[in-house]
Amino acid sequence: MTPTPRREPDFEQFLKVLRRELPDRPTLFEFSLNPRLCERLAGRPAPIVPDGGDRSDRITAYRELGRWYSDVFSSAGYDYVCLPPNVACPGYRFRGDAHTKIASHSLNERPLISNRDDFERFPWPDPSTLAPAILDAVTSHLPEGARALVFSPFGVLENLVDLIGYDDLCFMLVDDRQLVADVTARICTSLLGLYRLVVAHPAIGAVMANDDWGFKTQTMISPSDLREFVYPTHREIVRIARGADKQVLLHSCGQLREVMDDIIDEIGYDAKHSFEDIIDPVETVYDTWGERIAILGGIDVGFLCDSTPREITKRCAQMLERASERGGYALGSGNSIPHYVPDESYFAMTRAALGS
């Protein structure tokens, strides 16, 4: 039995969180739910979009896919509908051989750019190929009161690592920094083209940059290299969103204490997502940074897997109580809801916000 929604979507509540205000009632945040849970929430499997065929048939299929995502997020109690890049901007990605492993993949798996010749031959995503009609279709059935949230196909550093390989990127940062700069510039051009299209759409209420920067103990590359190669694109993403009067979020995993001031003051993100207890529990993060940036989620995925539903609901209720006077917090997982998180653990978390 799927829990029934206890309230109608109200995007203004989510906006209040992003503005570090106090929402009128507890608010939820999640951007990635596993297919099993999505099907349970929607009450049906996801519709299939044909690879080829008539354009009008594909538009119709994307309209139904957008309706399905709307049913998933509204039935779960969210005030927005999160549309992944393969739905909002299908086919727009940096490598055609998408990773297929269900659990994880190596940061050195199948690098595509090792030298200048590889760079010159690489088929970079072209922003001019983006189809506004598909974005129209997938947002055509948003629930009343909801807006859409869209995020990119990875970000600057994640695409650098994906295209070059982590180990090779570390060597290249010493041996050929100009090539790193040139690859970064092409990633920037492609990503910013996507964000310009998305923020201009009236159904889009907010956008999120999806770019992991850290391991459990430190940033993946030095803070100075982040500032040189990664921050400029992120500053532009924020500027583009601000120009369209849209809020902008950062999802970034890892130990980022050394660069949190940069995220808040230098780049200017409205909200930060992705936290782990082994790095900093969300309670600590909220107390430390919550007056300067909205904090989203943070209920550790391992905790969701290992704890009883009662323990999960108790911790979530305590976190909501912690934020009940200051605001600027939405309840959700520390990262996402992968397939190994029990459904009942997920519902135990959301129950703290939605009521029993």
Sheet holding 147-151, edge to edge: 80-83, 147-151, 204-210, 247-251, 271-273, 294-296, 329-330
Positive or negative torsion for Cα 268, 12, 59, 30: positive
pLDDT tens digit sequence for 7-26: 899 999 999 999 999 999 99
What's the mean per-residue pLDDT of the chain?
95
Which pTM was predicted?
0.95
Neighbours of 232 (CB within 10 A): 15
Residues in contact with 4: Cβ distance below 8 Å, sequence separation at least 6, in sequence order = 75
**pLDDT tens profile 121-170:** 999 999 888 889 999 999 999 999 999 999 998 999 999 999 999 999 99
Specify the pairing of strand 329-330 against strand 294-296. parallel
In order of their start, the domains of the chain are 11-354 (3.20.20.210)
Pairing state between β 329-330 and 204-210: unpaired
- 5, exposed or middle or buried, with CB in 10 Å at 0-12, 13-18, 19+? middle
CB 135 within 8 A of CB 87: no
The model's pLDDT over 292-344, given as tens digits with 9 standing for 90+, comes to 999 999 999 999 999 999 999 999 999 999 999 999 999 999 999 999 999 99
Q: What is the pLDDT of residue 133?
A: 95
182-197 per-position pLDDT tens digit: 999 999 999 999 999 9
pLDDT at 176 over 50: yes
**Biggest distance spanned by C-alpha atoms of the chain:** 59
Task: Judge contact between 209 and 230, C-beta under 8 A.
Answer: no
